[in-house]
Amino acid sequence: MCGRFVQKLPPEELTTIVGAEGPIPNIPARYNAAPTQDLAVVRFNAKTGRRAIDLLRWGLVPSWEKDLKGGAKLINARSETLAERRSFAKAFQTRRCLVPADGFYEWAPDRTPHFVRRLDGRPMLFAGLWEGWKDPQSEEWVRTFTIVTADAVERLRPIHHRMPVMLEPEQWRAWLGEESASPAQLQALLAPPADLPVEAHPVSTRVNAVRNDDPTLMDRAA
């Protein structure tokens, strides 16, 4: 499960890290990114042969949905069933993306919130899927995304049994569709290594409220 995360890396720095090209959208820092918000996503454009950073709405809305409301339910996609579930199957084949994050929040069974970050200080690049939905009234297109999750690594399991899938730079090309990869090869990318360099610490319950959005949310709770 991933219901909140941090996305604070300056756009110019993020562009360099992921090798994106083209216009950089206005990306405000988010310390409590939440579903239905517009957030930065990295996609590969097969026509231009380039990676780009775009703002997409968090919560995938399949093309057949009548409205956007259902998107709030599809903020995560289980890695084990991407190829089988109708909501994700087509996107898994042709619309895969990366979701940059500087860490994410997870709630333990006793409802204590924790902040999870990489030990090496590098940003996380979550595996994601995106979809286009056309508003039947205005005929405007809305692009949405979901974050792929897998079984949590052992050190995070006491907090929650699921976690977002983090991809390493050498895996980005296959996931973004820049090079050919079979469904089996793609599935293999979604298994977190046991030695994933992450750690978690408890944080203030202020993170429970979406209206709170500042750097102190990441601080260790007293």
- Give the whole-angstrom CA distance, residue 79 versus residue 28: 29
User: Cα(210)–Cα(124) distance, rounded to whole angstroms?
Assistant: 21
Round to whole Å and give the CA distance between 203 and 112.
Answer: 8
Active-site residue among 2, 97, 131, 179?
Answer: 2
Task: State CA 171 to chain mean position distance.
Answer: 15
Active site residue 97: no
Q: Are 82 and 165 in contact (CB under 8 A)?
A: no
Please, is 70 exposed, middle or buried when counting C-beta atoms within 10 Å of its C-beta (0-12, 13-18, 19+)? middle
Q: Which of 106, 131, 168, 179 is catalytic?
A: 106
What tokens appear for 76 in the block? 């995560």
Strand pairing partners for 51? Answer: 20, 44
- Give the residue numbers marked as catalytic: 2, 106
